[in-house]
Structure 1
Amino acid sequence: MIYITRRERFCAAHKLHREDWSEEKNEAVFGYCSNPNWHGHNYELYVTVKGTVNPETGFLIDLKLMKSIINTEVIDKMDHKNINLDVDFMQGKMASTEIIAMEIFHVLKPHFEKENVQLHSVKLYETENNSVEYFGD
């Protein structure tokens, strides 16, 4: 078994907010992350796949293909967007780093399975000090 990780970056806005809570409760729970005017991050996304090397190519997966899958399915949809409003796979979901990472994993998994590799993990840095890593259900 071999593992390959690809890093991509995107910038996006979001806010943490529950419609069924008062503004006071949202602020008490989420702090400045519930700012009604939104806030943004420069995210770093690490996608790791695993499997066996193809003896004909010497590759687990062509890295150009891996980049294309990640960019088409995630980066193009999230970069310079509002995660709460613009990202199809985040509609109706809390835009926490935890849930964003989980949803990215669910979006990418079938695309890598088609290429006969297994999605191992998605690691998402929201800041240089805060990250989430998700390994699937």
Structure 2
Amino acid sequence: MKVAVYRQEHFNAAHRLFNPEWDEATNEKVFGKCSYPNYHGHNYDLVIKVTGIPDKTTGFVMDMKVLSDLIKTSVIAKFDHKNLNLDTEEFKSLNPTAENIAIVIYNILRPQISDDLDVQVRLYETPRNFVDYPANG
């Protein structure tokens, strides 16, 4: 019997959605205000879902303190109060859409969590816009 546990964290970051192969007009048509050259910011809410069978000894799927520390050191410290396009290696050549940010966060965390546990990233860019990766997690 599997159980899902969740840890929610928060970070603030700026970004610009922009395809350098397109001209400004095309970028504005596709990305709207999100393509403006002076960037814009979001208050991101991040929810990490870990699913597995509770340990017989501890009763934990995963120690939530360990999960919290992992998120803070591997994700929050890297992205909080940063310009994702300018200040992070991950988005130097990757458009920092909510979808891509979720995939990057998953790829950072997945190798650090036991293989017998399933991991899913939910990233809220706004209270009404959010993404899940993987989508079937």
Deviation (angstroms), 1:136? 6.7
Contact 1:10 1:42 in 2 (8 A): yes
Distance 2:44 2:22 in 1: 27
Distance 1:21 1:90 in 2: 17
Distance 1:59 1:53 in 2: 5
Unaligned runs of 5+ in 1: none
Aligned twin of 2:30 = 29
Distance 2:10 2:41 in 1: 13
Structure 1 runs of 4+ off > 4 angstroms?
none
Aligned twin of 1:19 = 20
Distance 2:111 2:92 in 1: 20
**1:58 lines up with 2:65 in the alignment:** no
Q: TM-score, normalised by structure 2?
A: 0.92
SS of corresponding position for 2:50: strand
Aligned residues: 135
Distance 1:81 1:117 in 2: 33
SS of corresponding position for 2:90: helix
Q: TM-score, normalised by structure 1?
A: 0.92
| RMSD, aligned α-carbons | 1.5
Aligned twin of 1:135 = 134
SS of corresponding position for 2:122: strand
